[in-house]
Chains A and B, each alone.
Chain A
Amino acid sequence: MAEIVIRDLRKDFGGFNAVKASSFTIADGEFFMLLGPSGCGKTTTLRMIAGLEMPTSGEIWIDGEEVSRKPARQRDIAFVFQMFALYPHLNVRANIAYPLVSQGLGRAEVAARVAEAAAILGIEAMLERPVGGLSGGDRQRVALGRAIVRRPKAFMMDEPLGALDAEFRERMAGELRALHDRMGATTVYVTHDQLEAMQMGDRIVVMNHGVVEQFGTPQEIYDKPATLFVAEFIGSPPMNFLPFEGRVAAGGDRVRLGGADLAVPCQHEAAAGRLVFGVRPEHVTFDDAAPFRGRIEAVEYLGTTQIVTLSSAHGTIRARSAASLPARVGEAVGLRFAAPCVTLFDEATGRALRSALHGEGGAHG
C-alpha cells in the first residue's frame, strides 16, 4: 500500500513531447483514474509510474521513495496488462502461483497466498481447472488473481475492460471496484471512457495533449470544470457552450448574450472579449416567458428522462428534462439556465473564470 506522488513528470519521444510536466498525488488506497482521449499520454504516464518507460525529467515518489530511475522490478507494482493474458498450458492454481514461484517463495507460503487471492476473488472452486475452458469473466478473475498474489504496493491497469462488450464490461467494472473496496490497494486505472472514470474512480486526472487539465473528485470535475476541454469531455451529453462577445466585472453576476440578460454566479475576476457561457443540459429548463429562445430540433426518449436538442441564435443546446414533459419537434420555446451552476470560460485560453461556483480555480495543471 502506498502513496504515489508525481512531480513535473515529462516524457519526450525524440522531438515529440508526449507528457508535459504533470504533477499530481495519488493517495494511499485510492482508486485513481487517468482519463483522456486516445493519444493524450495516459499510457505513457502509467508506464512511467510502473517503470516500463524512463521519464525524460521529473520525479516519481512511491511510498516515500524516489523511484523514477529504478527498474520496474524494484518498484513492487503489479501491472495488469491485458486481462486475458494467461498461460494456456497451466491450470488456474499454477497461473495464479506463477509470479510467486518465479520469485522463489516456499511451497507452503505459495499455497497460502494463492488460497487468499482465490478467496478474495471467489474462485476457490475452480483452482484445479485448466484455464482453457473458463468463461471470459472467470479468465479475467484469474488474471487479477495473478496480480493480487504478489501483494504489490499498487496496481496499474491500462484500459483493462476496453475489449469487452458493454454488458460484461459493466459487470466487471462493478467487480473491480468491489475488489478494490475489499483490498484497499492503491490502484491507478487508465481509461478514455468518462463514464467508467466517473463510476469507478475516487479521484480523476483529466489529461489532454500530454497536459493535466484538472484533477479532483468526479463530482468536482463535473460541477466545476477547470477548462472548456474538461467541460466537454465529461458528461453525456456534454456541457452546452454558448459563445458570445461581452464583458463581466469582478463581483458582477449578469452577462448579456445577444438580446438576453442572463444570471451567472458572482464572478471573482473581470473578463472581456470572446467568452463562453457554459451550462449543463440538466440545468436548462423550459419557460415560455424567458427571453432566450430556442427551437426544438430533436427529442430523444431515455425512459424517465429525455434529451431535447434545440437550435438557438448562439448554437445548439441540449436540455435534459423529465420524459413526461411535452416537447414537440419544431416548437419554439423559452429557455432558462440555473444561474448558480453556470460556468463562464475565456474562449482564447479555454480556462474557466473564477466565480462563486469555481472558488480559486480548483486544481489546475
Chain B
Amino acid sequence: MAEVILRGVAKRFGATEAVRALDLDIPDGAFVVLLGPTGAGKTTLLRLVAGLERPDAGSIAIAGQDVRGVTPAGRNVAMVFQQYSLYPHLTVRQNLEFPLKSPILRTPPDQIAARIGEVAAVLRISHKLDNKATELSGGEMQRVSIGRALVRAPAIYLMDEPLSSLDAKLRADLRIELKRIHDSLGATFLYVTHDQIEAMTMATHVGVLDEGRLVQFGTPRAIYEDPVSLYVATRLGLPRINALPAGLFGEAPAGAVTIGLRPEHIRQGEGREAAVTRLEHLGDQTRLHLHLDGHDIVTLAEVHTRLKAGDSLAIRPERPLYFDAEGRRVHDSRTDQGDRA
C-alpha cells in the first residue's frame, strides 16, 4: 500500500486534451473516487497511472518512486477494466490465478489456492470457480474481474467504472462489499465513475473531473455542501440542483448570475408563488415540478402530499449557492456561515 502523487500530468490524443495539467495526491489508504461524465478523461488518467499510456508532461510517483519509464508490471498496480477484462479462454479459477502466477510474483501453489479461496468467498463466486469465464452472467463476470485485482496486494487498486454494467441491486451490494474490503485491507484505491452515488457512498475523497481538469477535490460532504462551481454542484445531488437566474428571489450578492438551489433547500409556504406542473411519486420521496417566471424548478414534497398539478405553492430559497457568469462560486457574506451548519 502506498501513496500516489501526480504532478502536472497531461495527455493529449491528437486535438483532444484528455488530461490537462493535473495534480492529485492520493494518500496512503485513501479511497479516492474521480467523478466525471463520459469523455472527462477518467479512463486515460487510470491508464497513465497504470503505465499503459505515457504522459506528455508531468510526473507520477508511486510510493515515493518516480515511475517514469517503469513498465506496468513493474509498477505493482492492479486494475479493473471497464469491460473485457476476463480472459475468455480460461476458467474463473485460471483467471484469478493469472496475476499470482506471473513471473514477477511466482506465488507458491498452496498460497494461490488459499488466496483464491478467500477472494472467491468474499465476492460470492466460489461455486463458479470451474466455469469458463464466458459462462457467467454479467454481474458474475464483473465480480471475477474485481477478484482478479483483489488476489494481489498491490501499491494501489485502479478501478474503471467496475459497477457500471451491473443492475441496481448488485451494484448496491458490491458498493458495500468494496467499501468493506477497503476498510479491512487498508488498501489505497483510485476509483473512477460517472455515478454520483458511488462517489458519495464509497469515497474518502472525491475528485470532480471536467474535460481533463480536476476542478475540486475533497470529502464527499465538502463537495456536496461547498462546491466551487456550478459544474461541481450539478455533479452531486439527486434530483439535480436547480440553476436559476440570481435575482429570481430578490437580492443576490454582487457578481452573482446564477442561484443554485438544491431541491431539499427550498422552503415551502412562503415567498414567491409557483405553479405545480407535475408530481413524481418515487415511493420514498415525491418530486414536485414547479414553474416560476418561465423556469422549471424541482423540489421535494412530503411523500403523500395533497398537492396536485395546477395548484400553486409559495417557495423561498434556503441556503442558496450563488455562481458568477463563468459558473464560479460567489460567496454570500450574509448567509455563508449558515451554509456550513
Contact = CB atoms under 8 A, between A and B. Distances in A.
Contact present between A and B (CB < 8 A): yes
Interface of A: 165-167, 177, 181, 192-195, 198-199, 217-219, 222-223, 234-238, 280-282, 297-298, 300-304, 307, 309, 320, 323, 329
Interface string B142-182: 00000000000000000000000001110010011001100
B341 to A, nearest CB: 9
B278 interface: yes
Nearest to B234: A167
A219 B220 contact: no
Residue with the highest number of chain B CB atoms closer than 10 Å, among A165, A199, A236: A236
Contact of A300 (B175, B224, B262): B175
B224 A219 contact: no
B169 A238 contact: yes
Given A166-B194, A300-B200, A303-B200, A198 B281 contact: yes
Contact of A199 (B180, B194, B236, B280): B280
B283 A234 contact: yes
Residue with the highest number of chain B CB atoms closer than 10 Å, among A177, A219, A235, A303: A303
20 contacts: A166-B194, A167-B194, A198-B280, A199-B282, A218-B280, A222-B283, A223-B283, A234-B283, A235-B283, A237-B172, A280-B284, A298-B180, A300-B176, A301-B221, A302-B200, A303-B237, A304-B264, A307-B201, A320-B284, A323-B221
Contact of B283 (A177, A192, A198, A309): A198
Interface string B177-197: 001100100000000001101
Residue with the highest number of chain A CB atoms closer than 10 Å, among B38, B262, B264, B282: B282
A181 B278 contact: yes
A166 B197 contact: no
Nearest to A236: B168
B283 A298 contact: no
Interface of B: 37-38, 167-169, 172, 175-176, 179-180, 183, 194-195, 197, 200-202, 220-221, 224, 236-238, 262, 264, 278, 280-284, 286-287, 303-304
A138 B202 CA distance: 35
A103 to B, nearest CB: 34
B35 to A, nearest CB: 12
B37 A219 contact: no
Contacts of B224: 303
Nearest to B286: A219
Given A165-B194, A298-B180, A303 B282 contact: no
Contacts of B287: 199
Given A301-B220, A303-B224, A304-B264, A218 B281 contact: yes
B201 A303 contact: no
Nearest to B285: A282
Contact of B284 (A217, A281, A300, A304): A281
B304 A219 contact: yes
Contacts of A301: 200-201, 220-221
A300 B201 CA distance: 4
A199 B279 CA distance: 9
A236 B172 contact: yes
A164 B172 CA distance: 21
Contacts of B286: 219
Nearest first, the 5 closest Cβ-Cβ pairs linking A and B are A222-B283, A300-B201, A219-B281, A218-B281, A304-B264
Given A166-B195, A301-B200, A302-B197, A218 B283 contact: yes
B281 A302 contact: no
Contacts of A222: 281-284
A16 B200 CA distance: 44
Nearest to B220: A301
B223 to A, nearest CB: 10
B227 to A, nearest CB: 12
Given A219-B304, A309-B176, A303 B236 contact: yes
A195 B220 CA distance: 24
A219 B287 CA distance: 12
A281 B285 CA distance: 12
A198 B239 CA distance: 14
A302 B201 contact: yes
A164 to B, nearest CB: 11
Contacts of A167: 37, 194
A353 B267 CA distance: 39
A320 B201 CA distance: 13
A298 B202 CA distance: 10
Given A280-B284, A302-B197, 7 more contacts: A195-B282, A199-B280, A219-B286, A236-B172, A280-B283, A297-B176, A301-B200
B282 to A, nearest CB: 5
Nearest to A298: B176
